[in-house]
Amino acid sequence: MSQPYQVVQAYDRTLIKEIPADDAAALEAKVDAAFRLIKNRDGALKPYHRSAILIRAAALLGERLDTFARLIAQEGGKPLTDARIEAIRAVDGLRNAAEEIRNFAGREIPMGLTPASDGRWAFTTREPIGVVAAISAFNHPLNLIVHQVAPAVAVGCPVIVKPAAPTPLSCLELAALLCEAGLPEPWCQTLVTEDNALSERLATDPRIAFLSFIGSARVGWYLRSKLAPGTRCALEHGGAAPVMVDRSARLDRIIEPIVKGGYYHAGQVCVSTQRIFVHNDIKAEFVERLASRVRALRVGDPLLADTEVGPLILPREATRVSNWIDEAVAAGAQLIGGRRRSETTLEPAILVEPAADAKVSQLEIFGPVTCVYGFEKLDDAIEIANSLPFAFQASVFSTDIEPALRAAQRLDASAVMVNDHTAFRTDWMPFAGRRQSGYGIGGIRPTMNEMSEEKMIVFRQAD
């Protein structure tokens, strides 16, 4: 093991815990152990065993919601109320994976459709793809791990999960909980490290059959280019989620969901509402109402029950977001809020009409900032919204069906929410970025498909 490192609270940078870090020797031992498991077919965990483990793990997690919520708030900075919701979702994710095992099966392939295929019977089965490497992100330090680990357990893949360096504790606790629920340790191992080279070695090891990566597009696409031949992957990155606000939208009903979508977890969400396009007829009133609600958001210590917006994960991230805001203001944008309160905490900000080439208009902010742009024609706003090289979720607010359908059909997004914010998600729905925003499909069932392979078996009837 290498030297230990310190895990600190996102809000005030005080020490939570000092934990041992893994080194190259530990990584080799973990990959070797996982690979030996997948090669030993006689030792594979039976479906009923995997289901029972996941059900038991869900029950144990349900009993410890408050403990996990506090840990999420401490290491990740997510307000306690939202952290508890994350823990509840993690319970549901484990249950979803257990339930999917009942329906996880192959299919019959029709035979006898040609003379050459006559007298044969064919069907498919699904097999675990092999060892899974899961590299995760900080912003949902429990639920993201569940979405990577639970499908692997469900299909029978050994998994080595590397949590984000600032937020390893939730991952370690979940791995221990799975072990307590009956999962033998080599089936779910953790790699705790701040060494990016060691993470890359995990992802690119030829014994890895599948890489599940959640994080920055730059790192994800780089790792994909370095994978060993035959290794499959799924990448989940981010975007700059657009919202269309039609002139028919009811302002008294849309401000709250837009604020939730834009400032939930201080905007550190891959589908956080970022670019808000508002019809010019209602733009002034929209900005006024949005500003009033944003100013009222309670900002501060995520461990306080009434906090709505907590810190950014690292001081350098708060500095980056502040610099982007300053750049937009220097180029002519109107700023509402945005003052830096501490090393990691920013007041929620609104930028009105930032320049088209400003970073806040072109890149994922990943901070508590939304941008408002006026438009006359919906199609023009949609064209601007679709102009970036990434696309994930989008939304449209309208009481008229025609503009709602037009936006839903024309927005370049994997999912379009009508009269709801861009960050809406349930744990059983497919979840995927397009273009530079991702590769493959997330969600419990889609990930189970990704982590398994279909094998066809053909019987020939004797003459």
Same domain (yes/no): 225, 255: no
pLDDT of residue 237: 86
Tell me the two tokens of residue 268. Answer: 């550190």
> Is the confidence at residue 135, as pLDDT, over 90?
yes
Percent of the chain scoring above 90 in pLDDT: 88
Do residues 366 and 282 both lie within one domain? yes
> Per the domain annotation, does 423 fall within a domain?
no
User: Within this chain, do residues 16 and 124 fall inside the same structural domain, yes or no?
Assistant: yes
Question: Quick one: CA dihedral 411, 417, 419, 422, positive or negative?
Answer: negative
Kindly provide the residue ranges of all beta strands, DSSP E only, lying in 250-368, ordered along the sequence.
Answer: 273-279, 334-337, 349-352
Q: What sign does the dihedral 69-70-73-75 (CA atoms) show?
A: negative
| Alpha-carbon dihedral angle through residues 276, 279, 280, 282, given to the nearest 10 degrees | -90
CB 96 within 8 A of CB 58: no
User: Does one domain contain both 221 and 367?
Assistant: no
Reading the block at residue 454, the tokens are: 């279909």
pLDDT at 322 over 60: yes
**Residues 211, 277 within the same domain:** no
How far, in Å, CA of 440 to CA of 320, rounded?
30
The whole-angstrom distance between residue 419's C-alpha and the CA centroid of its chain comes to: 22
Average pLDDT over residues 251-256: 95
Summary mean pLDDT of the chain = 94
The CATH number covering residue 33 comes to 3.40.605.10
Report the range of poorest mean pLDDT among 94-103, 158-167, 389-398. Answer: 389-398
Nearest to 325 by CA among 379, 269, 267: 267
Q: Are 132 and 229 in the same domain?
A: yes
> How far is 270 from 216, CA to CA, in rounded Å?
10
If asked whether residues 312 and 229 sit together in one domain, one would say no
Share of the chain above pLDDT 70, in %: 99
User: Is 245 inside a domain boundary?
Assistant: yes
What CA–CA distance (Å, rounded) separates 204 from 226? 6
Which residue shows structure tokens 């590299």? 135
Q: What is the mean pLDDT of residues 299-314?
A: 95
Same-domain status, 252 and 225 = no
The radius of gyration of the chain from alpha carbons, rounded to an integer in Å, stands at 24
Q: CA separation (Å) from 327 to 89, 150, 263, 360, 381? A: 38, 42, 20, 9, 23
For position 266, which CATH number holds? 3.40.309.10
Q: Which residue matches tokens 């996880």?
A: 104
Q: Is the pLDDT of residue 1 over 60?
A: no
Look at residue 461 in the predicted model and tell me its pLDDT: 86
Alpha helices in 112-250 (DSSP H): 143-155, 169-180, 196-204, 217-226
Q: Does 167 share its domain with 303?
A: no
Per residue, what are the HEC states of 320-342?
A: HHHHHHHHHHHCCCEEEECCECC
Q: Is residue 432 part of a domain?
A: no
Predicted local distance difference test score (pLDDT) of residue 5: 87
Buried b (16+ CB within 10 A) or exposed e, 191-227: bbbebeebbebbbbbebbbbbbbbbebebbeebbeeb
Task: Give the model confidence (pLDDT) of 208-244 as tens digits.
Answer: 999 999 998 889 999 999 999 999 999 888 889 999 9
Is 376 within the bounds of a domain?
yes
Which candidate in 171, 233, 270, 371 is catalytic? 270
Place of tokens 């400032």: 263
- Of 229, 362, 347, nearest to 298 by C-alpha is 347
pLDDT at 277 exceeding the cut of 60 = yes
Pair of tokens at residue 43: 């030792």
Same domain, 51 and 125: yes
Instruction: Using DSSP bridges, classify how beta strands 2-8 and 208-214 pair: parallel, antiparallel or unpaired.
Output: unpaired
- Residue 67 counted as domain residue: yes
Q: Is the pLDDT of residue 462 over 80?
A: no
Residue 28 falls in the annotated catalytic set: no
* Bridge partner residues of 133 (DSSP): 160, 211
Report which of 164, 221, 214 is spatially closest to residue 442, judged by C-alpha positions. 214
Contact of 68 with 78, CB cutoff 8 Å? no
- Number of domains observed in the structure of the chain: 2
Does residue 443 sit in the same domain as residue 349? no
Question: 3-class DSSP state for residue 352?
Answer: strand
* Stretch 130-136: mean pLDDT: 97
What local confidence, expressed as pLDDT, does residue 2 receive? 63
The rounded distance, in Å, linking the Cα atoms of 97 and 154 is: 6
Residue tagged 């997330």 (tokens)? 442
Closest CA to 15 of 67, 75, 73, 70: 75
What is the model's pLDDT at position 16? 95
Residue 243 token pair: 């919202």
Of the residues 236, 308, 317, 450, which is catalytic? 236
At 463, the pLDDT band (50, 70, 90 cuts) reads low
Tell me whether residue 459 is exposed, middle or buried, using C-beta atoms within 10 angstroms of its C-beta: 0 to 12, 13 to 18, 19 or more.
exposed
Domain assignment present for 68: yes
Domain that holds residue 203: 2-237+437-460
Is 306 domain-assigned? yes
Give yes or no: residues 28 and 107 share one domain: yes
Asked about 270 being catalytic, the answer comes back as yes
d(CA 244, CA 418): 10
Under the phi-then-psi rule, with left for phi > 0, alpha for psi from -120 to 50, and beta for the rest, what region is 58?
Answer: alpha
Residue 428, domain member (yes or no): no
The pairing of strands 159-162 and 434-435 is: unpaired
CA dihedral (448, 137, 259, 438) in degrees, to 10, reads -60
> Which pLDDT does position 45 carry in this prediction?
94
Enter the pTM of the model. 0.92
Amino acid 395 reads S
